[in-house]
Amino acid sequence: MPGLRRLVPGGTVTDVGSVRSAGELPVVTARWPGMKTIHVGCGPDRPCVCPRRRDIASSRRVCLPRATGLLVAWAAALCGPSAGCSEEEATHAMKVIVLGFDGLDPALCEELMAAGRLPHLSALARRGSFKRLGTSVPPQSPVAWSNLMTGTDSGQHGVFDFIHRDPTTAAPFSSAAVEVPPEPLPIVGSRVDSVPAFGYELPVRPTTIKPNRHSRAFWEYLTEAGVPAHVFRMPANYPPTASAGAHFCCLSDMGTVDVVNSQGGTFSYYTSDPAEQESGLTTEGGVLYGVTVHDDRVDGQWTGPVNEYVAGAGSPEPVRVAFVLRRDPSEDVVTVEWQDQTVLLREGEWSEWRPVTFELVPYVTTLRAMVRLYMKEVHPQVKLYVSPFNMDPQEESWEIDRPKNWSRHVSDAIGRYYTQGLAENTKALSNRIFTRDEFLRQSEIVFQERLRLFDFAMGHYRGGLLFFYFGTTDLVGHMFWGAQRAGHPGVTDEEHQRYGQVMAELYERVDEIVGRAVERFPDALLMVVSDHGFCDYRRSVHLNTWLQQNGYAVMNNPPDRKASMNFDFLQTRAYGVGLNGLYINLAGRERMGVVDSAYRQSVIDEITAKLLAFRDPKSGGAVVKTVYDGRRQYHGPLRDAGPDLIVGYMAGYRGSGESAMGAFPKAVIEDNTDAWGADHCVAADQVPGVLFSSERVRVDEPDLLDIAPTLLARFGVAAPGQMTGRDFLGGSLALSIDEHRKTEMASVGPLRGNQGNTMPDGVKCYGHED
């Protein structure tokens, strides 16, 4: 049938089904190189239906609408992104592949390579290089990946921590993205921001979301120079920025919120267990709903986003969707029904992704999300876990991709997938909703989705730059790194015995992925990188309490140790916000600043000395290894927007979550008994990342800042002036950030800090020997 081949560009038509009636489209079976057979088209008796109307029955089925006029649009969707989607535009003679594994630790890699457990990484190291990769200050993923993407540090790109603070209000906020409220519309001498209609306030202009990153990413320079770039699940890139020029496709990852706009996602847990109802959740990240079972039936509601469109609502309520759970009286089986969905689940079973529609304004504004259910228990109690409501990749209105239909194109091929960042639900484990095994099962779902995406990326790649990211190594690392050795306060001996090999086995799977890339593209320049390494998190430091005890911070009256930012600012000289940040309450800069700028440096010097002298009462060991001065650490116009001091803790220690949000827990330092038992927000030299390269790295101490200039140099693209790193493959003579820092420090004296990384009770942080 003429024209069919245009519908499957790059593929081979292997079969054409018969047309059943006039106006019907045939079912076409086609194959693309590296991909499984898929069916294109639908007929009256075909089970696959348009994924925009119902669940995708198979991840390999893509449907064409029956209206002929839409053929062109669907052909374009099949072809790929609307910008530069042709095979020719997506092809480049040079192939450069960067695989990013969050938190992949060099010391553990070395140990496992020595044991012969990582053959592909070992081969890569022998062929080219394996080095530690200098990380960011602080070694937090949004900072580190921003360094990697832009080739600049926080003073240029403006990302200093997971959590920033607004100096004019002292309120903490996520560094991931900013909401830009719309400008009111000038109408007849007034400024109108919304139009009332039927009990709702309809905004005349939408709120826009912008990434918080202020520097351009390396792929923007590449595509402008005509180099295709495929960037799969780049962290700290939400919403993804457009890139002009050559073929460009991108999916966001870490920093991407769920539908209720929360970082890390907000799960729901419905339980009829009175003991669970009474105990509640111990940490945030989810909501526990007590339910009652009547005649094996539970009536409940999903809780969606807050509906700010309701007119006159002082405190807007969330949109809710009713569901009914029916339990078999004797078997461990339930059905869960909502809207037009019915899910059948056995105890211990996970559902596939199922759509949920939140109607904000009837017929006008609807949010299409998706959810996965896990039936934890059916008898005697009903216990249902509901995943965070993720943005449905089938919906183009979400800001998770570039070009705009790319996520739909991808999910047409591989099925729906977690679109939120930090998808592995660590909070469910910390709250003991999940057991460790249940967390590993949920993480495996995330990992399998990522592997399907990886296969898709490999199959789609025709040269140019390919970046692909895995986050599982970080989030599983946070929960299981501490189980590798005995003695962690958050890990029992039994857990150490049972889960001690989880990290090693995960690294073996990382190695297999690397092997697949090498096998598929043996001649490509291949780099395997991570943003930081890992160490135990055994002792939690409440920095604001330390500041209070040392006379730098005062709590408001009445004292509330759990409240966020409960400072008496008129008596506070310094306060902590974020996992490593410490701010001087500077007059003229801060909301109620009291420290005159003439005294700023003396306060900084005093706090620095005291932090370095701070000893853990349990062990007598140093708590802080390095204190970084923000004005010396960062370079660029945004330097002064960040913390005045960045606290570099000793390995084994970390700033507490409570203090990161500006609270004052009672103790200054205490054991970390949370399941989140390992971390990397410490002094940077203790947690370098990895750099494996198929070509020899020509510098001794490569850094995250070097990745972008190296990639640009490989494609013959000049690096912009603000990139301070080096081309570590070509041996560029550009002055590195290390040289800048050495020059600066020579004039002000050596960086003060503590030596060694001895943990409490003399136990050394795993893998980090002095």
Q: Decide: is 174 part of the binding site for another protein (CB under 8 A).
A: yes
* b/e 645-670 (16+ beta carbons within 10 angstroms → b): bbbbbbbbbbbbbbbbbbbbbeebbe
Determine contact, residues 471/101, Cβ cutoff 8 Å.
no
Q: Decide: is 422 part of the binding site for another protein (CB under 8 A).
A: yes
Determine contact, residues 275/377, Cβ cutoff 8 Å.
no
Kindly give the pairing relationship between strand 163-165 and strand 129-133: unpaired
Rounded to a whole number of angstroms, the distance between the first and last alpha carbons of the chain is 71
* Cβ closest to another protein, residue 220 vs residue 531: 531
Site for another protein in 511-540 (CB under 8 A): 540
Query: At 760, phi and psi to the nearest 5?
Result: -55, 145
Of 124, 249, 579, 668, the one binding another protein (CB under 8 A) is: 579
**Cβ neighbours, 10 Å, residue 273:** 15
**Cβ neighbours, 10 Å, residue 72:** 11
Q: Would you put residue 198 in left (φ > 0), alpha (ψ -120 to 50) or beta? A: left
What would the two tokens of residue 289 be?
């709903």
Determine contact, residues 541/640, Cβ cutoff 8 Å.
no
Stretch that binds another protein, among 5-13, 61-69, 370-378, 656-664 (CB under 8 A): 656-664
Minimum distance, C-beta of residue 758 to another protein, in the bound complex (Å): 24
**Cβ neighbours, 10 Å, residue 86:** 12
Nearest to 616 by CA among 693, 727, 539: 539
Minimum distance, C-beta of residue 364 to another protein, in the bound complex (Å): 23
* Cβ closest to another protein, residue 174 vs residue 351: 174
SS3 sequence, 331-378?
Answer: CCEEEEEECCEEEEEECCCECCCEEEEEEEECCCEEEEEEECEEEEEC
Q: Decide: is 674 part of the binding site for another protein (CB under 8 A).
A: yes
- Rounded Cα gap, residues 417 and 483, in angstroms: 29
Of 166, 299, 560, 739, the one binding another protein (CB under 8 A) is: 166
Of 387, 473, 672, 686, the one binding another protein (CB under 8 A) is: 672
Q: Decide: is 310 part of the binding site for another protein (CB under 8 A).
A: no
Of 676, 692, 715, 766, the one binding another protein (CB under 8 A) is: 676
Question: In sequence order, which residues have a C-beta less than 8 Å from that of residue 361 and are 6 or more positions away?
Answer: 200, 202, 309
* Cβ closest to another protein, residue 168 vs residue 190: 168
* Cβ closest to another protein, residue 89 vs residue 658: 658
Of 100, 155, 158, 172, the one binding another protein (CB under 8 A) is: 172
Of 168, 330, 557, 755, the one binding another protein (CB under 8 A) is: 168
Nearest to 433 by CA among 266, 276, 658: 276
Of 173, 289, 350, 599, the one binding another protein (CB under 8 A) is: 173
Minimum distance, C-beta of residue 315 to another protein, in the bound complex (Å): 10
Of 355, 657, 760, 767, the one binding another protein (CB under 8 A) is: 657
Site for another protein in 219-258 (CB under 8 A): 257
* Cβ closest to another protein, residue 467 vs residue 676: 676
Total site size for another protein, rule CB under 8 A: 45
The residues pairing with 100 across neighbouring beta strands, listed in sequence order, are 469, 529
The residues pairing with 678 across neighbouring beta strands, listed in sequence order, are 536
Minimum distance, C-beta of residue 424 to another protein, in the bound complex (Å): 8
Minimum distance, C-beta of residue 417 to another protein, in the bound complex (Å): 19
Q: Pattern 376-405, binding to another protein, x per CB under 8 A?
A: ------------x-----------------
Q: Decide: is 732 part of the binding site for another protein (CB under 8 A).
A: no
Of 83, 356, 646, 660, the one binding another protein (CB under 8 A) is: 660
Q: How far is CA 666 from the centre of its chain?
A: 31
What would the two tokens of residue 421 be?
């960042």
* Cβ closest to another protein, residue 178 vs residue 242: 178
Determine contact, residues 680/106, Cβ cutoff 8 Å.
no
Site for another protein in 258-297 (CB under 8 A): 260-266, 283-286
- Rounded Cα gap, residues 462 and 464, in angstroms: 7
Q: Decide: is 439 part of the binding site for another protein (CB under 8 A).
A: no
Q: Pattern 588-607, binding to another protein, x per CB under 8 A?
A: ---x----------------
Q: Decide: is 661 part of the binding site for another protein (CB under 8 A).
A: yes
Q: Decide: is 564 part of the binding site for another protein (CB under 8 A).
A: yes
Of 656, 694, 732, 736, the one binding another protein (CB under 8 A) is: 656
Minimum distance, C-beta of residue 319 to another protein, in the bound complex (Å): 15
* Cβ closest to another protein, residue 284 vs residue 299: 284
Q: Quick one: DSSP state of residue 326?
A: E
- Rounded Cα gap, residues 668 and 334, in angstroms: 48
Q: Decide: is 664 part of the binding site for another protein (CB under 8 A).
A: no
What would the two tokens of residue 86 be?
């042709």
Minimum distance, C-beta of residue 426 to another protein, in the bound complex (Å): 4
Question: In sequence order, which residues have a C-beta less than 8 Å from that of residue 371 and are 6 or more positions away?
Answer: 302, 353, 354, 356, 386, 387, 389, 390
What would the two tokens of residue 299 be?
């009536």
Nearest to 516 by CA among 456, 458, 450: 458
Q: Decide: is 681 part of the binding site for another protein (CB under 8 A).
A: yes
Minimum distance, C-beta of residue 111 to another protein, in the bound complex (Å): 26
* Cβ closest to another protein, residue 228 vs residue 264: 264
Minimum distance, C-beta of residue 674 to another protein, in the bound complex (Å): 4
Q: Decide: is 83 part of the binding site for another protein (CB under 8 A).
A: no
Minimum distance, C-beta of residue 41 to another protein, in the bound complex (Å): 41
Helix (H) or strand (E) holding 493: helix 493-499
Minimum distance, C-beta of residue 1 to another protein, in the bound complex (Å): 51
Site for another protein in 312-371 (CB under 8 A): none
CA atoms in the 13 A half-sphere facing the CB of 197:
12
- Rounded Cα gap, residues 167 and 81, in angstroms: 41
The residues pairing with 83 across neighbouring beta strands, listed in sequence order, are none
Of 14, 58, 169, 435, the one binding another protein (CB under 8 A) is: 169
Minimum distance, C-beta of residue 660 to another protein, in the bound complex (Å): 6
Q: Decide: is 502 part of the binding site for another protein (CB under 8 A).
A: no
- Rounded Cα gap, residues 636 and 631, in angstroms: 10
Nearest-Å Rg of the Cα atoms of the chain is 27
Binding site for another protein (CB under 8 A): 162-163, 166, 168-174, 257, 260-266, 283-286, 306, 388, 422, 426-427, 430, 475, 478, 540, 564-565, 579, 591, 656-658, 660-661, 672, 674, 676, 679, 681
